[in-house]
A and B are shown apart, each in its own frame.
Chain A
Amino acid sequence: MKRQGIAILGLVLGVLCIAYSLRLGAIPLTWAQTFDGVWGKADEQTNIIIHELRLPRALMAALSGGVLAASGVIAQAILRNPMAAPSLIGISAGAGFAAALAIVLPIPFLMLLPSIWMLPFAAFLGSALSAGLVFSLARGSGRTDTGMILLAGLAINSLAGAGTGLLTFVADDPQLRNISFWNLGSVAGAEWSQIGVLLLFSLPLIVSVLNSGATLNAWMLGEEEAQLLGVSVERQKRLQMIAIALAVGASVSFTGVIGFIGLIVPHLLRFLIGPDHRSLLLQSFIWGAVLLLVSDLIARVIVVPLELPIGIVTALIGAPYFIFLLRQQYQRSRVYDPA
C-alpha cells in the first residue's frame, strides 16, 4: 500500500509540476490564463507561449528525467553495481565530445541540417559510437563481460573527456560558452519534433520498464543464477543495454549532460519502497520525471530573468541528498554488499 501511495504521490506531483512549468517563466501567467492557454482559448501570445515553449519544455524535462532514472535502475541491475549509471558506460561523455566537435569545427554534412537538429544529431552519433565501442570492448567468446563494460566505460569516458578538453583549448569564447552550457544541460528550447524523436527512441526502454521487473530481480543473484532461473542472460543483456543506449543517447542529445538523476532516483526509491524491480522500474521513471521537472522549475525561477543550467541544479540538490541517503542507509545497517 505504501508503494501505491508513493506512486500516486509521484503522479500528482508530476502533474502539479507541469502545471507550474506552464505558468511560471519570463512572462508569468495567472492560473486562468494558463488553463485557457492549454486548451488554446487564451490570447494568441499566451497560446504560443504555452503550446510552443512551455509545454514541450515540460514534457522534455519529464521524459528525460524518466529515461535517465529508469536507465539508472537497469544499468545498476545489469552491471550489479549500485554505483552504475548510464553515464558510466560512456554515453554522456561520447555525446559531449561529439557536441563539442560540432560546436568548434564546421562539419560539412552536419551544416546541411537545420540548426536545432545539428547538435543533437552529432551528440547522438557520439553517444551511439561510444556505447558501441564500450560493448564491443567488453565482448569476447560469445558473451559480454559486465565488469569489462564498467572498465571500458571508464576508459572511453576519460578518452572522450580528454577530447572535449582539447576542443575547449582551441575554441573561441562563444564556442567555449556553448560547450560548457551543453555539458551542464538544459531543457530550454525543446520542440515538439524533438519530443517525438525522444519518445520513439525511448520505446524499447519503456517496454523494458513495464516488462523487466522479474528478470532484473533474478539478475540480482548473478548472471549464472539468473540463467538457472530461466533468464536468457546474453540476450537480455544486449537488449537492455541497447534500450538504455538509444533512450539515454537521444535524451542527452537534446538536453546535454544532466547528471545525478540516473544515480540518485534509483537509490531514493530503493530507500523508500525497497529494491523489488517489479515496482522500482516504473516508480523510478515517474520520480525521475518529477525530479527533473522540479529542477527545471528551480533553474528558471531562482535567478530570474536568467536561467541556471539544469545540470547545476540536479547536482546541487542531488549530491547533498545523496550523502544524506547514504548516511541513513548506513545507520539502518542496510549497507550495500561490496561484492
Chain B
Amino acid sequence: MILLKDIQVQKSSRVLLDVPHLRLLGGKVTVILGANGAGKSTLLRVLAGAIKPDQGEVLLFGQRLTEWNTKKLAQSRAMLSQHYSMPFPMSVRELVAMGRFPYLRSRRDETMVDEAMAEMEVSRFAGRSIQTLSGGEQQRAHMARVLLQLKSEDEDAPRLLLLDEPVSSLDIVHQRTLLNKARDAARSGYTVVIVLHDINLAGDYADQFLLMKKGKIIAQTHSLDPELLGEVFDTPMLRIADTNHDKHYFFAGAAR
C-alpha cells in the first residue's frame, strides 16, 4: 500500500501539487487524467521519490520514502519518464541491461535482458544505437528496461510501477501491447500508476481514475461521466454509447 499525507510541492511560491491524502492499493491499475500542467507528472515523481515534497510524507509499503535504501528502492519501484535524452549512442541491449543495475550481477542477467527485449518487441533492434530508433521504438526499449528493473527472485515483494505517458509515441497496436504488460503487472500484485491522455484507452485499462486539476486531485473514482470530465478539462464532454459492445466513449466538444 502507498500512502501520501499532506503532500505539497512548490516552485517559486507556486503550488504545483497539493495532496492532503491519497491511498493506492496493490494489484490495481490507477490511471491519472488531467490537463497539461495539472500536476500529473509531479505526483508521479513524488511517488517515485525523484523529487522531495516541500511538505508531507510518502509511505511506500509501510516505510517512509526518505528512509529507503537507494538500491532497495530501485528494486521496488520503477518509473518510465516522458522524455529521455542520450548523449552517447548506447545500443538497445545496453540500455535494457541498465535495468539490472540495482541487483548483484548474476548468470541469469543476459537471459533476463533477452526476455525483457522480447516482451516489448525490441529484440530485432538489440544491437542498434538507441539514437537511431524512432520515438516509439525508444519508448518500448525504455519500457523493457523499466520492467526488467522490477524483476527479482522474490516475486511476492510489493512493487510500484509508474508510467508517465507511456504510449505517447506508440502506434495503436503497441499502445495496447504496452498497457497489457502494465495490466499483467498489476494482476501479479504490482501497484501500477499510469498517466494517460487518451480517456477511452484509459477506460479499457483502469481499475480506478485519479482526476487532477491545478495540482489537486479532484476525484478518485471507478467510473467516468461527462460532467466530471468536463470539470477536469474545462470543456464540454460528450458520452457516446456503443450499444453493441456495451461500452461508451468520451469525446471533447459540445453536442450540436
A residues lining the B interface (CB < 8 Å): 76, 80-82, 214-215, 217-218, 220-222, 224-225, 227-232, 270, 274-276, 333-337, 339
Q: How many Å lie between the Cα of A128 and that of B79 in the bound state?
A: 39
Q: Is B255 an interface residue (CB 8 A)?
A: no
> What are the residues of chain A within 8 A of B139 when measuring CB–CB?
none
Within 8 Å by CB of A337, from B74, B85, B98, lies B85
Closest 9 CB pairs of A and B: A230-B74, A230-B102, A275-B88, A339-B85, A230-B71, A229-B101, A334-B89, A80-B87, A276-B94
Within 8 Å by CB of A274, from B85, B87, B91, B98, lies B91
Q: Is B78 an interface residue (CB 8 A)?
A: yes
List residues of B (5-45) whose CB comes within 8 Å of A's CBs. Answer: 45
B residues lining the A interface (CB < 8 Å): 45, 48-50, 70-71, 73-75, 78-79, 81, 84-91, 94, 97-99, 101-102, 129, 131-132, 149
Residue of A nearest to B84 (CB): A221
B88 touches A82 (CB 8 A): yes
> What are the residues of chain A within 8 A of B91 when measuring CB–CB?
274, 276
The 16 sampled A-B contact pairs (Cβ below 8 Å) are A76-B87, A82-B87, A217-B90, A217-B94, A221-B98, A228-B50, A228-B79, A229-B74, A229-B102, A230-B102, A274-B91, A276-B90, A333-B132, A335-B131, A339-B85, A339-B87
> What are the residues of chain B within 8 A of A81 when measuring CB–CB?
87
Within 8 Å by CB of A222, from B49, B71, B84, B97, lies B84
Q: How many Å lie between the Cα of A183 and that of B171 in the bound state?
A: 57
Q: How many Å lie between the Cα of A22 and that of B79 in the bound state?
A: 55
Within 8 Å by CB of A228, from B78, B94, B131, B132, lies B78
Interface of A is mostly: loop
> What are the residues of chain A within 8 A of B50 when measuring CB–CB?
224, 227-228
> What are the residues of chain B within 8 A of A225 when measuring CB–CB?
81, 84
A270 touches B88 (CB 8 A): yes
Give min CB distance, B163 to chain A, whole Å. 13
Residue of A nearest to B103 (CB): A230
Give min CB distance, B164 to chain A, whole Å. 11
Q: How many Å lie between the Cα of A274 and that of B130 in the bound state?
A: 12
B70 touches A230 (CB 8 A): yes
B87 touches A337 (CB 8 A): yes
> What are the residues of chain B within 8 A of A334 when measuring CB–CB?
89, 129, 131-132
B74 touches A275 (CB 8 A): no
Residue of A nearest to B89 (CB): A334
> What are the residues of chain A within 8 A of B98 when measuring CB–CB?
214, 217-218, 221, 229
A231 touches B87 (CB 8 A): no
Most chain A C-beta atoms within 10 Å of own C-beta, residue among B50, B79, B87, B98 = B87
Q: How many Å lie between the Cα of A220 and that of B86 in the bound state?
A: 6
Within 8 Å by CB of B149, from A227, A229, A333, A336, lies A229
Q: How many Å lie between the Cα of A232 and that of B68 in the bound state?
A: 12
> What are the residues of chain A within 8 A of B97 when measuring CB–CB?
217
B90 touches A232 (CB 8 A): no
Give min CB distance, B16 to chain A, whole Å. 16
Give min CB distance, A132 to chain B, whole Å. 26
A220 touches B81 (CB 8 A): no
> What are the residues of chain A within 8 A of B84 when measuring CB–CB?
221-222, 225
A230 touches B90 (CB 8 A): no
> What are the residues of chain A within 8 A of B99 when measuring CB–CB?
229
Give min CB distance, B142 to chain A, whole Å. 9
Residue of B nearest to A142 (CB): B52
Give min CB distance, A237 to chain B, whole Å. 14
Q: How many Å lie between the Cα of A81 and that of B86 in the bound state?
A: 10
A336 touches B87 (CB 8 A): yes
B101 touches A214 (CB 8 A): yes
Give min CB distance, B88 to chain A, whole Å. 4
Give min CB distance, A80 to chain B, whole Å. 5
Q: How many Å lie between the Cα of A229 and that of B91 in the bound state?
A: 18
Give min CB distance, A277 to chain B, whole Å. 9
